[in-house]
Structure 1
């Protein structure tokens, strides 16, 4: 597959195509869609591994940059984003409780507030 005469995209998925391989665009797109579906269907990769890593970003932001977030006036946006994220991962038990320890107090407050609704 190419993007004009100057750019060529080779396909490699580590399974069927172990080395970068030249494919016509329809085959490249088909291989990409199959690969993406396999990633989404793999319980080892998605969603647990992805959401665990996303949680770590939230933990980092809250632990290291919260003062800056407040100074920018975007604390409500961060809190709303995290609240939705946390309630989702909690509902479907996507992250081990021990991984959530850095934000345990915030998580408990979110759960208490949600319980009251």
Structure 2
């Protein structure tokens, strides 16, 4: 079964995730006199609602019996890409080289871009996000990496590709929380952002896709949304493996615990 079929069968929630809220961009006048972002605005109790709060993310990301591991990763990667791309599109008008001269995350975290030759460069947030979306779109459309035709196989390095894509998407999510959460809240899309973050976090906790140093910038939000407690029940060891890369994987788990090696097109 190709991952396109898996998406259609298993991922009903992405198709209606945004159906209840029209996608309109925030009005520029709503931003007059305001800074680039409100520190930790996303931690305010009134804004901690999560779309579809009854959805158990642990069940959503748990690999079903008999389903190929790479198929499962491909399905979730595509869903996350669509959600992050849609959400950023609603606030992209306010993410400019002037307002977001650096690609930042919470707590002053700054992300640098690495090109195909491994050259590190500092770029403005909109340029960084454009690089992320262009790279991801090109990657998921590549039949040799994300096969959709019968009998085509996933490449041996597929998991490392997914790690890179998820890492870059996490950077975009982190930037939206750090610099554009106010606009998303005014558009009443903050609950959708929380759900996307919860999905990404659950996937990482289940399969140890991100290093601990990457996700620590939003650890306080995990706690506020009560994601850490749920993740700790099923994926506590995964966090340790992601942080140090030295944990032993369960025999029945497809999770691989080898350290993540920094690759071109990833961020420092």
State the TM-score bracket (shorter-chain normalisation).
0.5 to 0.7
Instruction: For structure 2, list consecutive stretches of 5 or more residues without a partner in the other structure.
Output: 1-141, 148-152, 234-268
Q: Which runs of 4+ in 1 moved over 4 A?
A: 35-40, 113-116
- TM-score, length of structure 1 as denominator length: 0.60
Aligned to 1:112: 229
Distance 2:185 2:145 in 1: 41
Instruction: For structure 1, list consecutive stretches of 5 or more residues without a partner in the other structure.
Output: 1-31
Task: Say if 1:59 and 1:103, in contact at 8 Å, map to a contact too.
Answer: yes
Distance 1:92 1:49 in 2: 14
CA distance 1:68–1:115, change in 2 (3 Å):
same
Larger radius of gyration: 1
- TM-score, length of structure 2 as denominator length: 0.28
1:34 matched to 2:144? yes
Distance 1:72 1:101 in 2: 27
Distance 1:35 1:74 in 2: 32
Aligned to 2:197: 82
1:113 to partner: Cα distance? 5.3
Q: Name the SS of the counterpart of 1:68 in structure 2.
A: helix
1:44 to partner: Cα distance? 6.8
CA distance 1:81–1:40, change in 2 (3 Å):
farther
Q: Name the SS of the counterpart of 2:202 in structure 1.
A: helix
- The residue correspondences of 1:47-58 to structure 2 (distance < 5 A) are 47-58=162-173
Task: Say if 2:204 and 2:210, in contact at 8 Å, map to a contact too.
Answer: yes
Q: What is the RMSD computed on CA atoms of the aligned residues? A: 2.6
1:100 to partner: Cα distance? 0.9
1:62 matched to 2:177? yes
CA distance 1:67–1:35, change in 2 (3 Å):
closer
